[in-house]
Structure 1
């Protein structure tokens, strides 16, 4: 029997920062990459290859005062949102976060209005998950909220690993900076997801993130119909229809 893949978990020392926007990249009509820097951003920021789902807590400015107020370590928490760490440029000491543009909450509104010099609070990361690189195949299923992690996998997985990415919704665009030969499928919605997934290879590792109920259906399909071992998938509900804000990153669909 083939050895099962392992996800390595490591703790990190969380840090608290007020950062400012250094530059902005428009990725699509609905997504933008915002680069952050400043004196609070440490040169040894925690950024591990294949830690593709690592995330920080974003603290937007108070919408009344415009000030960024970081919460005390043991005090009440202001409005915060989880964002995947898309990239860290050690040479420029800049951190990149990708935002789905919407006005449903303070973080989304901040991203829409952000310009170079805009400030925001950044906490963490508290831990990392290092996903396996020595498997035959990766299946990655995401909506726009999971695209930053999907792009990291495309860039960071060994060239010997076959990669298939299924994207639910969003504007089609080139993914990642890698020249990897990957199969990328864009679906308008989740209705045809399970049919598109189909039969998966025995040596697959599945990473997925998106709407919680869609992710739950995928998990059930892999476990009950495809008989995929639990060690071979990591599936996360990042949000839920009708629920305001991010779900805990540990919640699985």
Structure 2
């Protein structure tokens, strides 16, 4: 797939991936469909690779084996168990805890694990393999996400300089509020994806567009932005996080 990022705006850095079994330390209920799970333990390194403005950075989760209840990390070159990609929401170096936000559903092993997770529950955490650092010295951002992209959207809202203008379009009518992280940004809640092009409208030249969600919806947004050259490709980063009818995570580098 053609990449929409330009290295002059998006800085890429490789990381040395690490393998850990972590335990739930605490849980925050974000809405009826989302919860934040904090993970810690002796395997969590103090220098965990958390990069400001690396809002799409992610790790792979290895849920416990459903038959044994044990977490078995895959050998580097061996068979891969069921794993899922999750955005790194936050790393608290002082408490040595890692936060991940989960959409609660029965469709996959990580979602099912999160429904029943409690302090002491274990899960495998692999990576991250790399990071993409998005630009901070820029006029405006347009962020388009569904519920799966909200953790990354909140990171942008928290980590971008205060002088950067922010417009966020949230697809799907999520019950989750963005809270204090919104810091005066324009937030639009849009239930129908068909209305997305009209809602996006014209894109000013100084805007950087970052979007993540259902792959076909993201592909439609990419096409709209390419039509009539509405946006400079160097200022567009679109990610298909999942696809209707497809089991499992899509590769995070796949464009919508």
Same fold (TM over 0.5): yes
Distance 1:182 1:67 in 2: 43
Q: CA RMSD in A?
A: 1.2
- Alpha-carbon contact 1:137-1:161 (below 8 Å) kept: yes
Distance 1:95 1:119 in 2: 13
Task: Specify which of 108, 113, 123 is matched with residue 111 of structure 2.
Answer: 108
Distance 1:74 1:33 in 2: 31
Task: Specify which of 94, 99, 108 is matched with residue 96 of structure 1.
Answer: 99
Which secondary structure state, in structure 1, belongs to the residue aligned with residue 29 of structure 2? strand
Residue in 2 that maps onto 1:193: 196
Distance 1:115 1:202 in 2: 47
Distance 1:127 1:170 in 2: 32
- For residues 20-39 of structure 1, the aligned pairs below 5 Å read 20-39=23-42
Task: Specify which of 220, 230, 234 is matched with residue 231 of structure 1.
Answer: 234
Which secondary structure state, in structure 2, belongs to the residue aligned with residue 150 of structure 1? helix
Are 1:166 and 2:161 counterparts? no
Task: Please state how far the C-alpha of 1:177 moved relative to its aligned partner.
Answer: 4.0
In structure 2, list runs of 5 or more residues that go unmatched: 1-6
Distance 1:96 1:187 in 2: 27
Normalised TM-score (structure 1): 0.96
Distance 2:192 2:64 in 1: 33
Distance 1:57 1:176 in 2: 27
Distance 1:179 1:151 in 2: 8
Residue in 2 that maps onto 1:16: 19
Are 1:149 and 2:152 counterparts? yes
Are 1:220 and 2:223 counterparts? yes
Task: Specify which of 53, 59, 62 is matched with residue 59 of structure 1.
Answer: 62
Task: Please state how far the C-alpha of 1:59 moved relative to its aligned partner.
Answer: 0.2
Task: Please state how far the C-alpha of 1:76 moved relative to its aligned partner.
Answer: 0.8
Residue in 2 that maps onto 1:72: 75
Are 1:178 and 2:206 counterparts? no
Residue in 1 that maps onto 2:135: 132
Distance 1:40 1:80 in 2: 19
- Alpha-carbon contact 1:199-1:226 (below 8 Å) kept: no
Normalised TM-score (structure 2): 0.95
Alpha-carbon displacement from aligned partner over 1:151-177 (angstroms, at most 9, x marks no partner): 000000011100000001143333154
